[in-house]
A and B are shown apart, each in its own frame.
Chain A
Amino acid sequence: MAEAAKDLSTEKVTLDNLDPEEVKARIMAKYPPKVARKRSKQFVINKVGEDGKTPVINANVRTVPGLMGQRGCCYAGCKGVVLGPTRDIINITHGPIGCGFYSWLTRRNQTDPESTPDGHNFMTYCFSTDMQDEEIIFGGEKKLKQAIQEAYDNFKPKAIAVFSTCPVGLIGDDVHSVCREMKEKLGINVFGFSCEGYKGVSQSAGHHIANNGIFKHVVGLDDTIKEGKYRINLLGEYNIGGDAFEIERIFDKCGITQVATYSGNSSIDAFANSHTADLNCIMCHRSINYVAEMMETKFGVPWIKVNFIGAHATAKSLRKIAQYFGEQELIDKVEEVIAEELPEVEAACAEVRPRTEGKRAMLFVGGSRAHHYQELFGELGMKTLSAGYEFGHRDDYEGRKVLPDIKVDADSRNIEELTIEKDPERFNPRISEERKAELEKAGFAFNDYDGMMPEMPDGAMVIDDLSQWETDQLIKIFKPDLFCAGIKEKYTVQKHGIPLKQLHSYDYGGPYAGFKGAINFYHEIDRMVNSRVWEYMKAPWDKNPELAATYACD
């Protein structure tokens, strides 16, 4: 037994017929020694051991200045990602004009204002205090107060949120006290976020701050129990390209009621009421697990990890929800829906797959998408050679089992951890301890996420916070058939003659979630990896460079 294990550990892994360790060493060799040491810990060759144990990857650590990576800032995570898709609040960016401008409609979160009675939708607007040097010198609180007043006078919203940008923290504006004062004065909910761009090491800090803020200021304000037998919240789904609509369509069909979505197609009213749901289903673990944890502690709502990217993952997630509720009626209905939806998906997949089979992909995006989308590529018979997150933490790579081992560094310690206690009146454990134990015994996982690495093959390269240099090298060395990342990487990669699929914005397509989304994705990937355009880079005269000449006598 021990011998067998030894054999396994010395077995040479290969990746696309190359030695991944050698490739890694080659890429690292360019860096100054200190940088190479740091990046080496974020650049890991996967090896899945017993019980899904994987190598340790360094993640959620400081960006190396000058290397050019993909990450954005805390403000982007808070205002842009988590609160941006909530249509019926006025989000005021407190700071110079840029931050508000860049986060104005650029994330493609679709929303349907008609799905709430008041029809409010401020997502098409950009609100900013447009801070000037005079406020940097004398403070911006007065202007912020006035801006909140003007927002109220012009638009009469039911809530206003304020987002702090870098200079706000430095000059010491107390946005929270301004918000409290204006809340009192206007009689609507007004709350602020200290999400200055320099906080944390990536967008991730902003997600956490946003989670805290919503939980503190919004969740639990409305105890009305929404009608519906199986009431859930969908967390970490941002309705890019209409993903949340497709998931909602499937839920409706199954008879599952969504109380709230965090935060695609969301409304602040639904957040206020979300603690009345009976289950939290988490899509993007990285950006939203905090709210789920806090809701469980305070209100007794359990959470599970789901994934609606990929037809089979969708089916699996639906079954998991049905299993949780344990009602035969729901279990049967879910099976019926899956049986009804899958044939069309499978037919589409079978049609496309001969053209995608064996193609090789690389995915570097987000804090969950680089994992989830491997599902869809798997359905297309494509291999993932390398993947990594922009702002993931170790638990997103290695699974939540490593949570106790994660050292909290100075950058994370600066992000507030709320102390949450049981709500004396409203805490209500949704399932009994016995039932929970019974489910767990049957293999049902609560509060768990296994992470990306256990599901990836040995030898695959898992790279956190990928740099421009590493991107270039991976492309030159492996020449993958498809690269997945975001807008900043898109054309850099495509100049190499390799298609890049944006997994933030979906290249303005989608939805890709659920059953119908899977079909869209199959067709899109077929289009991309089989496009004729990549054949056009050489002109005929470059292919046949024989000399052309004219005779002197002509």
Chain B
Amino acid sequence: MLLRHTPTEIKERKALTVNPAKTCQPIGAMYASLGIHGCLPHSHGSQGCYAYHRSALTRHFKEPVAAATSAFTEGASVFGGQANLLQSIDNIFTVYNPDVIAVHTTCLSETIGDDIPQIVAKARADGKAPAGKYIIHANTPSYVGSHVTGYSNMVKAMVDYFSTSTGAKTKAVNLIPGFVEPSDMAEIQRIAEVMGVPYIMFPDTSKVLNGPLTGKYKMFPDGGTTIEDLHMTGDSKGTIALGRTCTMAAARALDSKCKVPCEILDLPIGLQGTDEFVDKLRLMAGVNVPDVLNLERGQLVDCISDWHQYLYGKRVGVVGDPDQVLALTRFLVSLDMKPVHIVSGSPAGKKYVKALEEVVADIGEEVNIKVPGDMLLFHQWIKNDPVDLIIGNTYCKYIAKDEDIPFVRHGFPIYDRMGHSYFSTMGYRGAMRLMEQILGVLMDRQDRDATDITMELVM
């Protein structure tokens, strides 16, 4: 047994987190920064932070993750990290020459109270930041929220630093994706494109964290939202933000800064989630939904009807980030599946829990929900009340193997499978892919458990 010590008896824990379903803010900020074209994320803390974040992101994406660090020593921790950050800025512009440095803080620099704008102002005054180069920052203390909070804070920083309003509105719609895969960002853009909607997506990690192998390493890959586009977000006619915990802060900031009205939606996972997105985008942009999307929608509905018997009534455990968990749960319920154990590792507020409760209100079973919770509790629930399927990140495979339960990887991190960064689980086509994955593991299980007599050729 991999998790041989997990007690079946659930005792309340107040101080000890075991097997977290979240990590800390800075990695989310680093990920978001990678979605700006020509940007080098910078971790203002000790070098372990950036080493861990780069490692985790690299393991997940199997791609280069360039980022720098202030490399605090004990001295810097006592006297402040100004000298380190100044030196870092100088070195980065001299050696690597990005267009933007996106500084995020850490628990270390937050605890000592380093003032990033003041340090950046000094760097400018000292001539260490060349004209035309940008240094933006987000405060991302690791002891508040989680990686999704860090993502949210850095996306909001993009608005704070770049969005400007010239007074002349464009036809573009801002699309702010949550902490999702590059493939998801690409799929959301594709939907806007087939609808003929001009858009600015920020951040945009597609073609950054799923880039090609050409024999030429580019520290700053072709993808990412350009500075020019970021400036122009203030002139867009509206914003659609996808996934509340990750994008609401930026969307609201853009509204109050540049009067760009926003719609804040769930992630477009599954039929209803995608319907809402397409509908809002259609109305905001004033376009009709093209045949191609109607075809995709129809295909998804067709698939649901074709395969419903294998999904109906199946009990599911879902663990992950709040936006994903909510959207996935809604999708599962729409397939007549029963999400019975639900954990979000990140805190997401009372409204969020209420929304989740509403989604599962009619499934006809008691549902365990814990926000924030951890994977030990999730495992304990499963031990006490088994499920037919687990959906979560790679760490769930230890639970899935011990309890012999079919498992679909979704969310962050996925360290052990190919696909997530190339094939989206969003939009109608993404929903079909997700169904394919779910059906694959459920039906593999049926085949595995079938006897010589009950084996089915056609399913």
Q: How large is the interface on B (under 10, 10 to 19, 20 to 34, 35 or more residues)?
A: 35 or more
- Minimum CB distance partner of A69 in chain B: B47
Contact indicator B11/A65 (Cβ below 8 Å): no
Instruction: State whether the Cβ of A136 lies closer than 8 Å to any Cβ in chain B.
Output: yes
Instruction: Decide yes or no: A67 and B16 within 8 Å by CB, A73-B48, A122-B5 being known contacts.
Output: no
- Among A73, A154, A469, contact of B46 (Cβ-Cβ < 8 Å): A73
Contact indicator B111/A125 (Cβ below 8 Å): no
Contact indicator A132/B51 (Cβ below 8 Å): no
Interface residues of A in 433-477 (CB under 8 A from B): 468-469, 472
For residue B51, which residues in chain A have a CB less than 8 angstroms away from its CB?
A: 70-73, 76, 488
- Among B3, B63, B91, B398, contact of A491 (Cβ-Cβ < 8 Å): B63
- Among B11, B24, B48, B111, contact of A170 (Cβ-Cβ < 8 Å): B111
Interface residues of A in 55-110 (CB under 8 A from B): 62-76, 92, 95-106
Instruction: State whether the Cβ of B127 lies closer than 8 Å to any Cβ in chain A.
Output: no
Measured between C-beta atoms, what is the minimum distance from B150 to chain A in Å?
10
Docked complex Cα distance between A169 and B94 (Å) = 34
Contact indicator B213/A133 (Cβ below 8 Å): no
Among the stretches B54-62, B157-165, B298-306, B450-458, the one at the interface with A is B54-62
For residue B7, which residues in chain A have a CB less than 8 angstroms away from its CB?
A: 154-155
Residues 485-507 of chain A, each 1 if its beta carbon lies under 8 Å from chain B, else 0:
01110111111110000000000
Instruction: State whether the Cβ of A282 lies closer than 8 Å to any Cβ in chain B.
Output: no
For residue B261, which residues in chain A have a CB less than 8 angstroms away from its CB?
A: none
Docked complex Cα distance between A486 and B55 (Å) = 9
Docked complex Cα distance between A488 and B52 (Å) = 9
Residues 143-176 of chain B, each 1 if its beta carbon lies under 8 Å from chain A, else 0:
1101000000000000000000000000000000
Instruction: Decide yes or no: A201 and B73 within 8 Å by CB, A76-B52, A496-B215 being known contacts.
Output: yes
Among the stretches A27-35, A218-226, A290-298, A350-358, the one at the interface with B is A27-35
Docked complex Cα distance between A125 and B75 (Å) = 34
Contact indicator A166/B58 (Cβ below 8 Å): no
- Among A76, A120, A136, A472, contact of B143 (Cβ-Cβ < 8 Å): A136
- Among B72, B76, B214, B217, contact of A472 (Cβ-Cβ < 8 Å): B217
Residues 99-141 of chain B, each 1 if its beta carbon lies under 8 Å from chain A, else 0:
0000000111001100000000000000000000000000001
Docked complex Cα distance between A102 and B55 (Å) = 9
Docked complex Cα distance between A119 and B4 (Å) = 9
Instruction: Decide yes or no: A198 and B72 within 8 Å by CB, A490-B58, A492-B64 being known contacts.
Output: yes
Instruction: State whether the Cβ of A318 lies closer than 8 Å to any Cβ in chain B.
Output: no
Instruction: State whether the Cβ of A384 lies closer than 8 Å to any Cβ in chain B.
Output: no
Instruction: State whether the Cβ of A151 lies closer than 8 Å to any Cβ in chain B.
Output: yes
- Among B3, B24, B73, B91, contact of A124 (Cβ-Cβ < 8 Å): B3
Residues 37-78 of chain B, each 1 if its beta carbon lies under 8 Å from chain A, else 0:
000001001111101111110110011111111111111110
Measured between C-beta atoms, what is the minimum distance from B61 to chain A in Å?
8
Measured between C-beta atoms, what is the minimum distance from A472 to chain B in Å?
7
Contact indicator B91/A154 (Cβ below 8 Å): no
Interface residues of A in 172-194 (CB under 8 A from B): none
Instruction: State whether the Cβ of A126 lies closer than 8 Å to any Cβ in chain B.
Output: yes
For residue B143, which residues in chain A have a CB less than 8 angstroms away from its CB?
A: 96, 131-133, 135-136, 167
Residues 385-424 of chain B, each 1 if its beta carbon lies under 8 Å from chain A, else 0:
0000000000100100000000000000000000000000
For residue B88, which residues in chain A have a CB less than 8 angstroms away from its CB?
A: 65-66
Most chain B CB atoms below 10 A, which of A76, A97, A144, A170: A97
Contact indicator B111/A66 (Cβ below 8 Å): no
- Among B18, B53, B73, B214, contact of A198 (Cβ-Cβ < 8 Å): B73
Docked complex Cα distance between A127 and B216 (Å) = 41
Measured between C-beta atoms, what is the minimum distance from A421 to chain B in Å?
28
Docked complex Cα distance between A490 and B89 (Å) = 25
- Minimum CB distance partner of A469 in chain B: B95
Docked complex Cα distance between A73 and B73 (Å) = 10
- Among A70, A120, A126, A135, contact of B19 (Cβ-Cβ < 8 Å): A126
Instruction: State whether the Cβ of B22 lies closer than 8 Å to any Cβ in chain A.
Output: yes
For residue B445, which residues in chain A have a CB less than 8 angstroms away from its CB?
A: none
For residue B111, which residues in chain A have a CB less than 8 angstroms away from its CB?
A: 136, 166-167, 170-171
Contact indicator A167/B2 (Cβ below 8 Å): no
Instruction: State whether the Cβ of B336 lies closer than 8 Å to any Cβ in chain A.
Output: no
Residues 325-346 of chain B, each 1 if its beta carbon lies under 8 Å from chain A, else 0:
0000000000000000000000
Contact indicator B214/A98 (Cβ below 8 Å): no
Instruction: State whether the Cβ of B308 lies closer than 8 Å to any Cβ in chain A.
Output: no
- Minimum CB distance partner of B44 in chain A: A65
Docked complex Cα distance between A71 and B26 (Å) = 18
Contact indicator A166/B15 (Cβ below 8 Å): no
Residues 1-35 of chain B, each 1 if its beta carbon lies under 8 Å from chain A, else 0:
01111010001011111111011101100000000
Measured between C-beta atoms, what is the minimum distance from A436 to chain B in Å?
40
Contact indicator A150/B13 (Cβ below 8 Å): yes
- Minimum CB distance partner of B394 in chain A: A105
For residue A71, which residues in chain B have a CB less than 8 angstroms away from its CB?
A: 47, 51
For residue A497, which residues in chain B have a CB less than 8 angstroms away from its CB?
A: 213-215
Most chain A CB atoms below 10 A, which of B23, B42, B143, B216: B143
- Among B52, B67, B211, B213, contact of A68 (Cβ-Cβ < 8 Å): B67
Contact indicator A95/B15 (Cβ below 8 Å): no
Contact indicator A495/B89 (Cβ below 8 Å): no
For residue A468, which residues in chain B have a CB less than 8 angstroms away from its CB?
A: 66, 96, 219
Interface residues of A in 229-258 (CB under 8 A from B): none
Contact indicator B87/A64 (Cβ below 8 Å): yes
Q: Which residue numbers of A lie inside 8 Å of B, CB to CB?
A: 30-32, 35, 62-76, 92, 95-106, 113, 119-122, 124-133, 135-136, 143-147, 149-151, 153-155, 165-167, 169-171, 196-202, 410-411, 414, 468-469, 472, 486-488, 490-497, 533, 537-538
15 A–B contacts from the bound complex (CB under 8 Å): A72-B47, A73-B48, A73-B49, A97-B24, A100-B20, A104-B19, A104-B20, A128-B17, A129-B15, A196-B46, A200-B74, A410-B74, A488-B54, A495-B64, A495-B214
Known: A63-B69, A154-B16. 11 other contacts (CB 8 A): A67-B68, A73-B46, A76-B48, A96-B24, A113-B4, A129-B17, A147-B15, A154-B18, A197-B72, A488-B58, A537-B213
Q: Which residue numbers of B lie inside 8 Å of A, CB to CB?
A: 2-5, 7, 11, 13-20, 22-24, 26-27, 42, 45-49, 51-56, 58-59, 62-77, 84-85, 87-92, 94-96, 106-108, 111-112, 141-144, 146, 211, 213-219, 376, 395, 398
